[in-house]
Structures are given as C-alpha cells and as structure tokens.
Structure 1
C-alpha cells in the first residue's frame, strides 16, 4: 500500500460542497458517453469543474460535462472504489470496502493510502458525507459514525437504524441526513435524521432501493436505482422518475450534478443528461449574490481579463487550472471589499487549449471555461 496519511489530516482538505445555485430540477433525457461499458463507475465533480469517473481502478477525467474523456491514471492495484469524493482544494478521495481509502492532491499523478481510525472489518467504509457545520459522516457496514473534529474521534450514530449496512448517504444544506441501509442479504430502507444523526426515522412512501443518493443545492434529493434516476421534492417520502433513455440492466451506482447543471449517472456505463437539469439561465454565474463573469476576450491569444462582483466583503480565491486539474495560476486571494473587481490572466507561456478558472467566495465555488488560442 502507498504511504499512509492520517485520516484527520486528509479531512483538513475537505470543508465545503460544490454549489450550482438553488434552481428547480427538471426531468431530462439521457445519452450514453464514450467511456467503455462493463464497469461499476463511481463519479465525482471537482471544484475546478472537472468530472471524474472511476471504473475499477482506472480513473477518467472530463472537462466538458462528460462529452469527452481522458485517462486519469490508476488509483491503486486491485481497488474497486465504492465511493469517489472531491474536496474543495481539488483533492480526490476514493474509498474501497476491502482495501481502504486513497487520496490524490496532485491532479491524480500519485495516490496515498489514508489511515482510518478503528480500521477493522466493522469500520469498512463505503461512503462519506459532510455537514455544513463541519461534521463528517461515515457510512459503514456497521452503521453511521460521526466526527466533529475532522476524523480524530468518531461516535456511533445509529439509533433507530434497523439495517446497519449503510449503502449510501447524503446531507442537505439544512443538515438533514439521509441514508439507505441493508440487513444481511436483504434491503432495509431509507432513513432520515434531523438531529445530525443522533436519531433516525424510517421513511415510508415509495422510495426504491437506492445505490446512490445526492442532495441538490435547492434541497431536492436525487437517487439511482437499477437503470432509473429518481427525484424527491418533499424530503424523501415521494419519489418520481427523472427522464428516460437509460439502458436496461444498467445498474446505476453513482450520480453527480455538474457546475453547468447537467446530471451524469454511472453504472455499467456512464450517461449524461442531454440538457442542463438546473435552470441556471444564460447570465453570469452566481454564488450567494456574488457574480463571476466570463473572461474577455474569449478565446484569447495571450492575455484576458476576468471580472467578478462582490455583494459584500468576502474572502476570495480565484485560480486557473488546466484540463487535467493541475493548478496553473492564482489570480486573487484574501479578503476583498464589495464592488467590481478585475484581474488579468497571462497565458503567454502556456500551451494553447482550454482552461478552467475557479472562483470561491464565502465558501461557495463556481467555475468557467476559457480558451487560449495561438
């Protein structure tokens, strides 16, 4: 196994969630991507806008919402990740029930094993979720664990859960926690906690068996089951199918929403919705009333101007990445006053191609794409 880093140190790289705005989710049709079929793909979205797909131990990366993919290297030999998560810093985490958790913070060039506390069979972890108050939730084959100190210590939080094998979990912005659990060799059901996991209530309604759950920025829940994607707008009680076009026996295991509002679902293959499912509009990208503007000119031959507007004083981080996720430049950082701001990006020493610039203000991240031409 590669060199271990402590789990608490690894979690310091976490601390936020990708937000794309509180807009309504609509149904969508689906089209298959170019990735080879036959794997149980796990998906994640980085804060630089990159979409990551892990099939077996092989990672693939897309900079255009899943239209095209490039190889991203091998995580570790003999790994079959059950979870894939990106941190706000851009670090990527992959969790395997049998082998453990691995982390890459250098654009997937190298991976390090992450040392988990209580690393026994009962703590085998297949999913993680993060609360807005800094809590870390681990879904294991023996219930839910919660940490309030970045993984230094853990507390069991499974009161009310009948099935203890946590298959998937999601946390909404208002701190509701959802898990789908299993008994040994059979399905239990969907549970909700409104007290940070202290107690759980089994939900009725028409929820199917979920292999993946995510919380959308507007509070809706999305879940995958077999070859279908479902949506709930009432806190997980009533579920409806979201679109058509997914293949039979696809066995979906993962779903993400990209910064442009498109859904990408992974199973034996990877599918993308044929249009954005969040009505984000065509105007500037907005995050908590702050505005990130498209660079101008775009495309650009040498340098370009990037503007942003702050509704109030905020800590800002504006950085540029290439399509592999490698950090290229930091354009702005630190506390900025409200109002209009602009920076120049000089790409004269860089190869031509597409780049992404990532804007973080008040802990909310948005990204845009720009083209350097010669």
Structure 2
C-alpha cells in the first residue's frame, strides 16, 4: 500500500519521537527532558492537524470557483454539441459519444435537469456519428439532432417529440456531413437544417412541414459547416462553407459571397453581435496554416480584419465562437486540437471585441468543440472530452423562488404558455419599492410592468402580450435587496 504521508514525513516523526526538551535554570544548571508518550501524541496531533489544514488551503486554492468543472456523468464522453432549454435553463441536452477499444464510435444523447451539473444517458439515440442538437423553445421534449458520417445512411436529421423515447427521421441519405440545426432567434417556430453537403431546408411550423431554400453557390467541395441567424434581424443569414462565407438578407431567397478567405480547411463558425447585426465574427479553421484564426467585420461582412492578437498558429483550429449577450465586447472562442499546451488550446476570451485574447482554460484538459451560454444564470458551458461548466461570469445572484422565505414570493404566471394576457402574482412581507420588469432571451428589458412602493400583501399584475412577438421571456421582481426571476412563454 502506498504511504499516504508526505515524502520524508515518517523519518521526521521518528526524529520527533526521539526529541527532547532542553532547558536551563537561572543558576546555570541544564537538563534534558524526554517527551512522554502523552506529550508525543499531543504534539503529533498538532502537527497532523496543521498539515491537514495546510493541505485543505492548498486544495481550495487549486479548485477555485472561477475555473472549469467537469459535469458528473460525462467522464470520457466526447461531447459534440450542447443546447439549453430557454423556458427552463435547468434543462439541457447534449449529443456526442464514446470510442471503444476497437475504435468503434457509439453515440450518446444526454440530458441534465440541474443546470448541467449531472447528466444521464438517453440510450436510444439514432446516431452513428453526431453533429448538432437543438431544443424547441416551447417544448423541452421536442428536439432536433443532426448526425453525420461518411456512408450513405448516416448524414441524417432526426426529431423526437417525447424527449428521446422515439425518433422520426426527417432527412437523410447524403454522403457528406452538414452538422447544422438552427432555430430562428426571433421567430422561434422556424427551424433551419443542413441536409447533405450543402442543401438547406426550413420549417416554419416547428418541424411539421419543410421547404427547400436556395442554396448558396458554393464551389466544390460544398461542405456546409455552419448556418448563423442574426439575433436582431432574422432576415440575415450567414452560411459558412469549406470554400467560403455567404450572406442572405432575405431569409435565404438570395445570397452573396463575402470577401473572406476560407484558407485551407474552411470557415468553421460564425457569430453575430446580438445587438448589432453589422458586427460579425468568423472562425477560419486552418491547422496552423495561414490564413486562419478569428476575423471580424463591422460592416455586415463587406470587409474583414484579422483579430489574432494573443493567439498563435496552434490556436487557429477554431471550432466555436460565442458573444456574451449581456456584454457584447466579451467574446469567447473554442479551439479543438491535440497540439499545443494548456495555454494554447481550449477556450480564449476577449473583453475588447477581439482586440486581444487571453486563455480562459483553468480546469480544462484540452480542446473544446462547442460553447453554450446560459443567459439566466450566466453560466458558460464547453463541449469537450466531457461536459464542463464555468461560473466565473456570474455578476449577480438570481435567487430561486424555492430558496426564498415564504414571505417573499414570485409565482408562475397563469396561463403559461399564454396568448394575449397572463397574470403574475407576488407576495411581500414588508413595505418595499417594487420593480417588475420583462426581459427577452438576450437579457434585454422589453417592458416595465410595475414600479411602485407597496405595502405587505399579495398582488396580481396583468401582463399584455399583444404587441410582443412569440417567444421566451423572463419576468424579474426586485423588492429591496430581494430578486426573483420566472419564465413565461408567449405563443401567438
């Protein structure tokens, strides 16, 4: 059995046992007094207690809250994508798989109901290889996945309406990958999928019926890597191919090719500023060969500027880009490579809109394939070899109603989902100035429902949804230092 004590500690205890207390009197007589067994035991307990305390301090310093933490149930799971159910961000889905000793890939479809800290496998995922997962904003059981490989039957789009118990194959049979499933961030009933190497289809009724849209004229090989919809204007689409980047301003009716060099391996990802559709970031996957890395446009893609300050060629395997919707100058990028060191792979962050990047890797074992962000709890997620989460972006505490005293409560609106009007009920235990406001999924305030001083009691507020688009909203109650948040779904 391995000795649990520090190296050299056993010999130190032996010397301690043989030690003695030397003392001299005022008259100059000196004596030596050996430690008794009881004294030795007391001293030994003191030393061990001190070492335990020091070790605990060291552990606390090396497992700080601002690092990445591995979610339970995802050890060894090669996660390809993560999506958060915005009606209840406690619920999340992930797709990925495991490689056995015979190098056979076995796909996995996972669910978490506690904000990504613990995951369990939904075993009957239809995939042989995996691409993307998206959760319907109105129904957490309705999920779309893309799966791909290099045989005639593995590049498919599937949908489940019961949380993964049964699946319907929507499209398939193409021999090239298109790992694309995207939900329109403005019209939440519209879904886009990539089918085959380049074809794009759209549903405006949550996957019930589909139509083909005009495919960008990408030269061979026309591999579609990403499709991005501008959050502030869903008429604007970006289609990233191995051979170039294309833009549509009419929801895919027509396309133009943008002047961004796709390099040797293509444009892997595109993200648009949530508040300004003219600000666009693109990742060029290059395996260290220029051009590569991050490029930024401030004029809707007409011109581009390289933004690689703080990155070197080992960081150019860009796999994911994400803009913090609450702080648009804060951008995250994920790199996925087996090269480099802890400081040259994984996640990087800029707080200056791409002018300088710094590693954001503490706790990560290597590269990250996809990033996801929870707007409610300010938690960042990384799909890697395992699923990781990071809470260092938290700037305020969103208290859960279940953890608040019964004397201060915010209840679920009724009806929910709603069409037209809904009622919000809250309780106060003492007089306070009350602010009840409504926010969209990007964290933008869309309406102030109440601003007034209120006495203790129970109150009801009627919310009108007539001039708001369908979607997910959050209503936030502030009373003094107390803050509560609930979710509401508007369907028209």
- Higher mean alpha-carbon deviation, 57-66 vs 68-77, is at 68-77
Higher relative contact order (CA 8 A, sep 6+): 1
- For the pair 1:158 / 2:259, whether they are aligned, the reply is yes
Aligned residue in 2 for 1:356? none
Say whether residues 1:135 and 2:236 are aligned partners: yes
Match of 1:223 in 2: 333
Could you tell me whether the CA contact under 8 Å between 2:214 and 2:254 is conserved in 1? no
Match of 1:47 in 2: 86
1:268 corresponds to which of 372, 385, 388: 385
Structure 1's 128 and 269: CA in aligned 2 closer, same or farther, altered over 3 A?
A: same
Instruction: Please give the residue correspondences for 1:1-374 in structure 2 after superposition, counting only pairs within 5 Å.
Output: 27-35=66-74, 37-48=76-87, 49=89, 50-55=91-96, 59-66=109-116, 67-69=118-120, 71=122, 73-74=125-126, 75=145, 78-79=154-155, 82-88=179-185, 89=188, 95=194, 98=197, 117-118=215-216, 121-131=220-230, 132-133=232-233, 134-159=235-260, 165-172=266-273, 173-174=275-276, 175-182=278-285, 186=289, 188-207=292-311, 208-209=315-316, 210-217=318-325, 218-219=327-328, 220-226=330-336, 228-248=346-366, 251-259=367-375, 260-273=377-390, 275=391, 277-282=393-398, 294-295=410-411, 306-307=424-425, 338-339=449-450, 342=461, 365-367=472-474, 368=486
1:228–1:170 Cα change, 3 Å = same
Distance 1:128 1:99, change over 3 A: closer
Q: 1:211 to 1:336 in 2, by over 3 A?
A: closer
* Contact preservation (8 Å) 2:268, 2:284: yes
Shift of 1:238: 1.2
Quick one: distance in 1 between partners of 2:228 and 2:280?
A: 9
Runs of 5+ unmatched residues, structure 2: 1-64, 98-106, 127-144, 148-152, 156-176, 337-344, 402-408, 414-421, 427-434, 452-459, 475-485
Counterpart-to-counterpart distance in 1, 2:487 and 2:362: 29
Gaps of 5+ in 1: 1-25, 286-292, 298-303, 318-334, 345-359
Distance 1:337 1:35, change over 3 A: closer
Give me the whole-angstrom Cα distance separating, in 2, the residues matched to 1:69 and 1:306: 34
Give, in whole Å, the separation in 2 of the partners of 1:93 and 1:63.
Answer: 26
Deviation at 1:233, TM superposition (A): 0.7
SS at match of 1:211: strand
Aligned length: 295
- Please say if residues 297 and 303 of structure 2, whose CA atoms lie closer than 8 Å, have aligned partners that are also in contact: yes
Q: In 2, Cα distance between the equivalents of 1:182 and 1:176?
A: 20
Distance in 1 between residues matched to 2:121 and 2:190, nearest whole Å? 18
- Structure 2 residue aligned with 1:14: none
Task: Tell me the CA shift for residue 114 of structure 1.
Answer: 6.0
**Deviation per residue, 1:208-233 (Å, 9 max, x gap):** 22211111111110111245221101
- Cα RMSD after superposing both structures: 4.5
What do residues 141-193 of structure 1 show as CA deviations (whole Å, max 9, x unaligned)?
A: 12111111111111111256656710111111233111111459945221111
Q: Distance in 2 between matches of 1:58 and 1:283?
A: 33
Larger Rg: 2
**Larger helix proportion of the pair:** 2
Using a 3 Å threshold, how does the CA distance of structure 1 residues 146 and 125 change in structure 2: closer, same or farther?
same
How far 1:36 sits from its partner (Å)?
6.0
**Range 275-284 or range 113-122, more displaced:** 113-122
Tell whether the 8 Å contact from 1:41 to 1:270 is kept in structure 2 after alignment.
no
Q: Distance in 2 between matches of 1:141 and 1:271?
A: 28
Q: Aligned with 1:169: secondary structure?
A: strand
Q: Would the alpha carbon gap of residues 310 and 73 (structure 1) be closer, same or farther in structure 2, given more than 3 Å must change? A: farther
SS in 1 for 2:226: strand
Distance 2:288 2:358 in 1: 26
Output the TM-score relative to the length of structure 2: 0.49
Tell me how far 1:252 sits from its aligned partner: 1.4
Is the Cα–Cα contact under 8 Å of residues 160 and 201 in structure 1 kept in the other structure? Answer: no
1:254–1:311 Cα change, 3 Å? closer
- CA deviations 1:299-352 (Å, max 9, x no partner) are xxxxx974597769x9x99xxxxxxxxxxxxxxxxx9995486479xxxxxxxx
